[in-house]
Amino acid sequence: MKKTTKKAILLSTILTLLCVFSILTLLFYPKQNRSYTALIYVDGKLYESLSLSEVTSSYNFTITTPNGHYNEIRVEQGTIRISSADCPDLLCVKQGPITNNLLPITCLPHHLVIELTPINSPPNLPDAISH
């Protein structure tokens, strides 16, 4: 029974050290400064493509649907968001700005999607969405 206890302690120690090392790596590993292109789709078609690293001053523009509804887009250097809309739930506005390609902004009632793609990213590498 003592061998089992020693093995359990050894395994627990190894797992604890692995977790601590992983956390320290995530905290102190230098993050890459990536530049992104914002791709705005309306009804599944590319509406606009914007390089967020080339934005020198913040600006807004409005996308109006054929039936008169709107989404106001706010573009700043390195970030994009929907600042106002007339959709019923306003989830797209509540999502706030995005600065990476982990999660796109979607406005389902207006068939609008904003996603970021890295500029000069290595080809054929999986991203967070494909896993």
pLDDT digits (tens, 9 = 90+) for 76-109: 988 999 999 999 999 999 999 998 888 999 999 9
Q: What is the pTM of this model?
A: 0.68
Tokens of 21: 């090392």
Q: Which residues contact 105 (CB under 8 A, 6 or more apart)?
A: 80, 81, 82, 92, 95, 98, 112, 113, 114, 115
Mean pLDDT of 46-68: 90
- Please answer whether residues 109 and 30 qualify as being in contact, where contact means their C-beta atoms are separated by less than 8 angstroms: no
Q: What is the distance between the alpha carbons of residues 105 and 90, in angstroms, rounded to a whole number?
A: 12
CATH of domain 36-118: 2.60.320.10
Torsion over CA: 84, 97, 117, 127 (sign): negative
The domain locations on the chain are: 1-30, 36-118
